[in-house]
Amino acid sequence: MELNKKPSEVINSVVDEIKKVIIGKDEVVLKMILSIISGGHILIEDVPGVGKTTLAMALCTALSLSFKRIQFTPDVMASDVTGYNVYNRKKCEFEFVEGAVFANIVLADELNRTSGKTQSALLEAMEEEAVTIDGITRALPHPFTVIAAQNPSGTVGTAFLPESQLDRFMVCLTLGYPEKDDEISILKRRPDVKCCVNRVLSIDDLVFLRQAASEIYIDDKIYDYIAELAKRTRESDNFSLGLSPRGSLALASMTRAAALSRGRDFVLPEDLFYIWAEVVKHRVVLSPKAERKFSGRAKEAIDEILASVPVPVL
């Protein structure tokens, strides 16, 4: 199958549709779409009330995807996430009840407020697009994306997500508070604005975009550039944990999607610059020395790494 428009035009049309409900956050919206096209999961670290749920629902509508939301609290169990078997007396047999992960897009709200056991229930689903209950493996809907929201560390009732789980998210994004003019526009809009989002793509169209992104050409010099950047994070005294190979793969996938959104069939260094911070910052851990040097801001530390490696000339 083929799209009626160029992939870059289609991606921009999705952003334009979501702009009806999410004002002033076009870059965040685009990077979420690029992550979905790359087949990755999304982590949003932000304060409550900035539009995370609205954005996730708008994405589902625009992309014709099914949606489920689970609000994580300390008493949420792993079975609430994956599903469970219940005995049906009339049929004298066990029946499977689907958990929250059985949807194309799952919003895991306030993920860092629940127990480690419940958090880990997402791991197989995120990695394998399947869950196993009582020895039976069940495939999840395709495509499948987790959009996890976590409150900033230090918020009441929260705990840090382990590095192994953070590494499974393609990108870490922040919506942030709106600018004053954007907030005035939010205040003036109609209460039923969520109903204004229209479908832009079908699931087949999204699958086509994923395939198109996977075929974007990456020169060997770009591969070497990504590998050198990863190597520098592992060797730098600023990090006690550097970029993993999974992180390097995420950089390659996201640069392909970024190139696709810009109407090219090949990757340039500027595509990597565009998604660098969102892919890397949550995967590295600052050393105690760097914590003091950068005041805990990982982005400044990884930007220093980016500036230290010569940009390849293609």
Per-residue pLDDT tens digits for 60-75: 999 999 999 999 888 8
Q: What does the pLDDT average to over 260-269?
A: 96
Average pLDDT of span 50-58? 87
What is the DSSP pairing of strand 130-133 with strand 136-139? antiparallel
Q: Residue 32: its pLDDT value, please?
A: 96
| CA neighbor of 260 nearest in space, from 35, 22, 28 | 35
Confidence check: pLDDT of 154 > 70: no
pTM over 0.75: yes
Contact 213, 252 (CB under 8 A): no
| 92 torsion bin: left (phi>0), alpha (psi -120 to 50), beta (else) | left
Amino acid at 266: F
Q: Given a cut of 60, is residue 1 above it in pLDDT?
A: no
End-to-end CA distance of the chain: 32
Environment class of 130 (CB within 10 Å of its CB; exposed 0-12, middle 13-18, buried 19+): middle
Is residue 213 packed enough to be buried (19+ CB in 10 Å), middle (13-18) or exposed (0-12)? Answer: buried
Instruction: For domain 215-308, say whether CATH 1.20.1250.20 is its number.
Output: no
Q: Is the predicted pLDDT of residue 202 greater than 60, yes or no?
A: yes
For the chain, the structural domain boundaries read: 7-206, 215-308
The pLDDT confidence band at residue 46, using thresholds 50, 70 and 90, is confident
Rounded to the nearest integer, the mean pLDDT of the chain is 90
Contact 126, 250 (CB under 8 A): no
pLDDT of residue 161: 79
Look at residue 167 in the predicted model and tell me its pLDDT.
92
Q: What is the pLDDT of residue 110?
A: 86
For residues 62 and 200, the answer to whether their CB atoms sit within 8 Å is yes
- Residue 59's φ and ψ, nearest 5 degrees, are -60, -45
CATH topology (fold) of 7-206: Rossmann fold (3.40.50)
